[in-house]
Amino acid sequence: MKRIITYGTFDLLHYGHINLLKRAKELGDYLIVVLSTDEFNLNEKNKKCYFSYEKRKALLESIRYVDLVIPETCWEQKRTDIHEYHIDTFVIGDDWKGKFDYLAEEGCEVVYLSRTPEISTTQIKQDIMSGQKKQ
């Protein structure tokens, strides 16, 4: 069984997130999503999520491409997760390109997937604030 892992906040879940998860799952048999906790987002990423960790987790668990959701509590846990969950491929969006190449030293492939260009949580928040609607 080929195991895939990806990380993210997944706040205001949208079709770009679904596209990323679908493409990640296509690379293997079992997809683990490591979801940033509220504390990690606030303290390390300086982000305040609209939805709580538990609600974001429930949303992710309802997606057919996702097999397991676990919490992300620190940047350093990636190495541990790769070994603990016997990961074959680490997948993340290409806006992080090069940032996680060091994980190949842990024995897994590192893949950067292109983002869905016309959508992002940041853009959704900006559009809502300005009263714009996406077609």
Active site residues: 45, 47
Ranges assigned E (strand) in the chain: 3-8, 30-36, 68-72, 89-93, 109-113
Q: 30-64 burial, b if ≥16 CB within 10 A, otherwise e?
A: bbbbbbbbbebbeeeeeeebebebeebbebbeebe
Return the percent helix, strand and coil in the chain, to nearest 5. Answer: 40, 20, 40
Cβ–Cβ under 8 Å, residues 2 and 30: yes
Compute the residue count for the chain: 135
DSSP 8-state assignment for residue 87: -
